[in-house]
A and B are shown apart, each in its own frame.
Chain A
Amino acid sequence: MHNNMSHFSLKSLFGAVFLFFAFSFGLKAQDGAKIFKQNCAVCHSLTDQKLTGPGLAGVAGRVPKPVDEWLTAWIKNNNKVIASGDAYAKSLVAANGGVDAMSEFEFLSDADLKALIEYVKAPPAPKADVAKAPVAGDVVEEEKGGIDPLYLLLGAIVILAIVLGALRSVRHSLQNSYNRKEGKEESEELTFGQEVKQWIGGHRRLVGVFVILITFGGMKSCWDACYDLGVYYDWETQKGYLPEQPIKFSHKLHAGDNEIACQYCHNSVEKSRHAGIPTVNVCMNCHKGIQTGPQYGEKEIAKIYAASGFDPKTGNYTNPQNPIKWIKVHTLPDHVYFNHSQHVVVGKQECASCHGDVKKMTTVEQKTPLTMKWCIECHRKTEVAMEGNPYYDRLHKALKEKYKGQYDVKFTVDKIGGLECAKCHY
């Protein structure tokens, strides 16, 4: 009983406070902002910036009077205003390329509209800190200046050779002055080559051992190098090809943090042999609206606009178009046939099983060797996903019959011809 009472009084207290604010000032402005964000911000900005619709800065000064009534009618049902022959409405349609695509907002109440119009007439000052974001990104971009260690080594060798030469002549003149003192003949200066020959003559065995060691060492490294020929992947360090791309596109940001599915951009992966590079219109599906990135600000996104010919000021595709020249990371030679749809749809493989955890990569790196050995190893151990996979229904039945008791009904890819030469080479 006591509980109920306190509950009731609390409720009424809240109600009173709510009403007080609703009828004074607080809620109204907030409401307007909320309504604007939910219904209008998709197409209109509060500045001069044109998105899908025109920017709303100074809108109260532009529209016919009485301003509030005109705006109310326009927002509720702009088509009616146009149909009524309103001159300003017609000029608006003409200014937007003869297309009037604004939605109708009949569901907004009069109070909502009032709050909204108040908000649009006097919006809060835009935050200035947005423009500063790129500065931090630029620092990251600076590359460490450094000299190739090979050049350092060569420089050291040259310096040592000079020092050696100088020391040799010092030693020779010292020897000569000693000889003079002892009354011996002055010795002729030997060339470096002659001296080395003399030394080798005195240490034949040692030199022989060295020659053998270096020869076998060289052969071993040559043999190892053969394994790396044409493989964009280092087996020992597990580091792969990681080229810098024309746009600093981060898979970590897009697929990782924002959880965009791989197939959104690589949408041919389930339908075709190739996973495909997304066309620029796919980028623009989001970046028409998102014009500033968290790390590089507008700099990298501007490259998409340069490619698509999009003019962010007017929101139209009026500029010249240039293709983005992405650098291919995962390459198979021409004599290998690989089909993405076969592996992803029928084989039910995850993208990550060949491409690594791309969701954590800022720049894409080749994480697997993509050699024939690697393909075959995988085909030997991967079981075919036959259960509930209509593609294999008939085959599954036939194989069960054929290999009854032999294979324990475990069918890896090699058992259904996954090692046939002509599967990949034809």
Chain B
Amino acid sequence: MNLSYKNLKLVACGTFAVMLVAGFTSCGKKDANSPGFEFMPDMYRSPSVEYYGTHVINGDTLNNAMLPVAGTIARGFMPYVYPNTVDGYEQAGLYLKNPIVYSEAVEKEGEVIYGKFCVHCHGATGAGDGKVGAKLPGPPPAYNGPLKNLPEGKIFHSITYGKNSMGSHASQLTQEERWKLVYYVQKLQGPKTVATDSTKTAAPADSTKH
């Protein structure tokens, strides 16, 4: 093809039009729902399988935010043996002990965790006067009140499975973090008025081993 004057003119006009369009896209940022003009969008919206998405693979629609297969255990993870039943709760209260050695540093770490995960319902002093707690049908009971003599195992059990209005926090806190938290909750409970069942140190019943 000869590069005639007419062709050149066409090319010039085309370039000009492209520039104008590009100019308009730069000021077309009115729609807040639009992310704007994406140059090479496949760098943003990758064809590879990403987390939190729905993908069709070999004709199957897969949702990435699904639970793992039942019975899956992460590496190095020790499943919690007491079941989510009344019996399990009582057994945990009797036999479950904090595996972490107490130190002030550990309690401090527990306090940090408390400030992130508990304080909005249970309140800064554990009196159940948190801002979210006030919006629940009933506020959480005070650590220093009805829960004063709650043994450590029951505290751990309740964080793991949830209790009453409270949901399970096992997905948010590792077992180690939960135990650190238990130390801080015990600090908020204050000294116990009734001796806990620490004297009963018999082995847990076989039925609780799952």
- Judge whether B132 and A286 touch: CB under 8 Å: yes
Contact present for A334 and B46 (CB under 8 Å): yes
The reply on B72 being an interface residue by CB < 8 A is no
- Taking a contact as CB atoms under 8 Å apart, the answer to whether A215 and B16 are in contact is yes
Q: Mark B159-189, 1 if CB is under 8 A from A, else 0.
A: 0001011111101110000000000000000
Of the stretches A163-171, A254-262, A375-383, the one at the interface is A254-262
Task: Identify which of A17-25, A39-47, A200-208, A397-405 touches chain B.
Answer: A39-47
Given contacts A234-B29, A284-B167, A285-B166, contact A229 B139 (CB under 8 A): no
Which A-chain residue is minimally distant from B149 (CB atoms)? A107
Q: Among the listed A107, A230, A328, which residue makes an inter-chain contact with B146, where contact means beta carbons less than 8 Å apart? A: A107
- Expressed in whole angstroms, the minimum distance between the Cβ of B151 and any Cβ of chain A is 14
> A91 at interface (Cβ–Cβ under 8 A)?
no
Alpha-carbon distance A231/B38, docked complex (angstroms)? 8
Is B120's CB under 8 angstroms from A231's CB? no
Q: A63-71, A113-121, A176-184, A238-246: which one contacts chain B?
A: A238-246
Contact string against B for A residues 257-284, beta-carbon threshold 8 Å, 1 for contact and 0 otherwise: 1111101100100000010010101101
In the complex, the answer to whether A244 meets B116 with C-beta atoms within 8 Å is no
Known A222-B19, A230-B44, A331-B44; contact A52-B116, beta-carbon cutoff 8 A: no
Instruction: State which of B1-9, B20-28, B101-109 sits at the interface with chain A.
Output: B20-28
> Chain A CB within 10 Å — which of B20, B35, B115, B173 has the most?
B35
Whether a CB of chain B sits under 8 angstroms from the CB of A224 is yes
Q: For residue A294, which residue of chain B has the nearest CB?
A: B135
- Interface flags for A189-227 (1: CB within 8 Å of B; 0: not) read 000000000000000000000000011011101101110
Residues of B within 8 A of A288 (CB): 165, 167
Query: Which residues of B are found within 8 Å of A222, using beta-carbon distances?
Result: 18-19, 22-23
A101 near B86 with CB under 8 A, answer yes
Q: What residues of chain B lie closer than 8 Å to A225, measured between beta carbons?
A: 22-23, 25-26, 37
Chain A's interface size range is 35 or more
Within 8 A of B (CB), among A319-337: 323, 325-326, 328, 331, 333-335
Contact assessment for A41 and B138 in the assembled complex, using a CB-CB cutoff below 8 Å: yes
B65 at interface (Cβ–Cβ under 8 A)?
Answer: yes
Q: How far is the CB of B47 from chain A (nearest CB, A)?
A: 10
Q: Which of A107, A230, A243, A365 has the most CB of B within 10 A?
A: A230
Instruction: Check if B77 is an interface residue, CB within 8 A of chain A.
Output: no
Rounded to whole Å, the gap between the CB of A423 and the closest CB of chain B is 19
Whether the Cβ atoms of A260 and B120 lie closer than 8 Å is: yes
CB distance from B93 to the nearest CB of A (A): 12
**Structural contact, A218 and B20, CB atoms closer than 8 A:** yes
- In the complex, the answer to whether B137 meets A241 with C-beta atoms within 8 Å is no
Choice from B19, B140, B168 contacting A42 with Cβ under 8 Å = B140
Assuming A42-B164, A100-B86, is B51 touching A289 (CB within 8 A)? Answer: no
Instruction: Give Cα A217–Cα B65 distance, bound, in whole angstroms.
Output: 48
For the complex formed, measure the closest distance between the CB of A280 and the CB atoms of chain B, giving whole angstroms: 9
Closest approach, in angstroms, between the C-beta of A150 and any C-beta of chain B?
8
Q: Determine whether B202 belongs to the interface, using a CB cutoff of 8 Å to chain A.
A: no
Q: Compute how far the CA of A243 lies from the CA of B33 in the bound complex, rounded to whole angstroms.
A: 4
| Measured CA separation A328–B45 after assembly (Å) | 11
**Interfacial residues of chain A within 51-110, with CB under 8 A of chain B in the complex:** 51-52, 79, 99-101, 103, 107
- Could you tell me if A219 and B19 are in contact, using CB atoms closer than 8 angstroms? yes
Other-chain contact of A218, B19, B25, B40 (Cβ < 8 Å): B19
- Cβ contact within 8 Å between A241 and B36: yes
12 additional contacts, CB 8 Å, given A103-B164, A333-B43, A334-B44? A42-B139, A225-B26, A230-B39, A243-B35, A244-B33, A257-B131, A258-B135, A274-B51, A286-B136, A288-B167, A289-B137, A335-B43
Minimum-distance CB pairs A-B, first 8: A41-B138, A221-B23, A285-B167, A225-B26, A42-B138, A229-B39, A218-B19, A242-B32
Residues of B whose CB lies within 8 Å of any CB of A are 16, 18-20, 22-27, 29, 32-40, 43-44, 46, 48, 51-52, 54, 63, 65, 85-86, 89, 115-117, 119-121, 131-132, 135-141, 146, 162, 164-169, 171-173
28 contacts between A and B (CB under 8 A): A39-B146, A42-B165, A99-B86, A101-B86, A103-B164, A218-B19, A218-B20, A222-B18, A224-B26, A225-B25, A228-B36, A228-B37, A230-B37, A232-B35, A237-B29, A243-B33, A244-B32, A244-B33, A264-B116, A267-B117, A267-B172, A282-B167, A288-B165, A288-B167, A323-B63, A325-B54, A334-B43, A334-B48
